[in-house]
Amino acid sequence: MSEAPSRTLVMGILNVTPDSFSDGGDHFAHDDALTHAQQMLDEGADIIDVGGESTRPGSVRPSEDEELSRVIPVVDALADRGVTVSVDTMRSSVARAAIDHGAAIINDVSAGLADEEMLKVVAASGADYIAMHWRGHGAVMNDLAHYDDVTAEVMDELSGRIDAALAAGIPAERLIIDPGYGFAKDADQNWELLADQEHFQTLGYRVLVGVSRKRFLGELLRDAKGARPVLQRDDAAVAITTLSALQGVWAVRTHTVRQHRDAVEVVARLRTEWQQG
């Protein structure tokens, strides 16, 4: 997955959890998970991101055995079909097993901070590695949203994790970075970070953007009834995908694939016209 794509890729989210913030339980059963994965592939997903642990604020971690039992059968089945599979995990044991069963990408929201063995495990494999900005687990992350300059601090902390990954032996061409929207950041901090998103490209690595259905979108769209419900935030996320594709990010991570694939195709077509003009 390390080659530069001709357009922004679309990563479809497959939560095999009972408690994720927007679709917990919807695809928990194995057959339901595979059916939903196929639907996302049919709609144009380039990558399926399989996650067995909810990272929503206040979430409680499953046991290692539980996470493995949720994730590995799905990874195995999708990889056997030739699907490019990413696994959303903070555990090195889950990463190792997922890679052994065909996962091409490890999407670690902790960037190696939650498990000191993670970077070594990925370095010893051929998998790509997504390092996200992170300050703590879901149970405490809202208490850690303190910044003097959110963009500068996130970039600095993420640069430190890049250095750690390189030192562990992960080649630069296998690294991807994620600003971590919604993780230890309040609504205003997310918007400030998003306004500065192009700065992350200057670090020299592929960038993944994940804002699908996040709370700061619900707060933006608040009306007299309250924050916009989770399942009604998708159009706002498509707007951010369009912006991200115009900036040339590597991929966007989303619960709803078709609209985002349409957006990146529009941008790709416009880029062709701009280049020819």
Q: Determine which one of 91, 161, 253, 261 is catalytic.
A: 253
Question: Is 253 known to be catalytic?
Answer: yes
Count Cβ neighbours within 10 Å for each residue of 192-231 and write b for 16 or more, e otherwise. Answer: bbbebbeebeeeebbbbbbbbbbbbbbbeeeeeeebbebe
Pairing outcome for strands 9-15 and 47-51:
parallel
Of 214, 215, 228, 233, the active-site residue reads 214
For residue 147, give the nearest of 115, 179, 113, 109 by alpha carbon.
179
- Phi/psi region, residue 185 (left: phi>0; alpha: psi -120 to 50; beta: rest), is beta
Cite the beta strand spans of the chain per DSSP E.
9-15, 47-51, 85-88, 105-108, 128-132, 175-178, 206-210, 251-254
103 close to 73: Cβ distance less than 8 angstroms: no
- CA torsion 211-46-129-19 (nearest 10°) is 50
Q: Which three-class secondary structure string do you get for 181-202?
A: CCCCCCHHHHHHHHHCHHHHHH
- The radius of gyration computed from the CA coordinates of the chain, to the nearest angstrom, equals 18
Which residues are known to be catalytic?
214, 253
